[in-house]
Amino acid sequence: MALKRMDNVGIVVEDLAATIDFFRELGLELEGQGKVEGEWAGRVTGLGDQRVEIAMMRTPDGHSRLELSRFLAPPVVADHRNAPVNALGYLRVMFAVDDIDETLERLRTRGAQLVGEVVQYDDVYRLCYIRGPEGLLIGLAQELS
């Protein structure tokens, strides 16, 4: 069997509403929201009886999704949000945008902070990393024509 697609990237957050608002401002659409709970869900994650509020955010092209999760039980046990860019494990999610400067201006109203600076790679891309809600590391890329 062949791989069909990447379905979503999961991010655990404390403030689900603020994180939804941030990603809406970026341009993602809220596809759905609800609770996942019970013994069956814990068998998938290995956490036992769990209760989680989730929100599924979809990119405008409909091909990519972020699953935002807020754990009600069991409690969160580790926090990797402020890990440096060279930390092991999952690092960031990168989004392609039309105008990196305009996007940064909008996201700053939602608390986004530039990690380094906006740089240009040859005549191909303008790129930057930002810290979004709760310190989440997010990449922005503007393709240059």
**pLDDT tens track, the chain, 145 positions:** 787 888 999 999 999 999 999 999 999 999 999 999 988 888 888 888 899 999 999 999 999 999 999 999 999 888 888 788 888 887 789 999 999 999 999 999 999 999 999 999 999 999 999 999 989 999 999 999 8
Spatial separation of the C-alpha atoms in residues 130 and 115, rounded to whole Å: 5
**pTM of this prediction?**
0.91
Cβ proximity of 61 and 138 under 8 Å = no
Q: Which CATH number fits domain 9-73: 3.30.479.10, 3.40.1000.10, 3.10.180.10, 3.40.50.1000?
A: 3.10.180.10
Q: Please, where in the chain does CATH 3.10.180.10 lie? A: 9-73, 93-143
- Is residue 133 packed enough to be buried (19+ CB in 10 Å), middle (13-18) or exposed (0-12)? buried
Q: Is 74 left (phi over 0), alpha (psi -120 to 50) or beta?
A: beta
Tokens coding 7: 């379905």
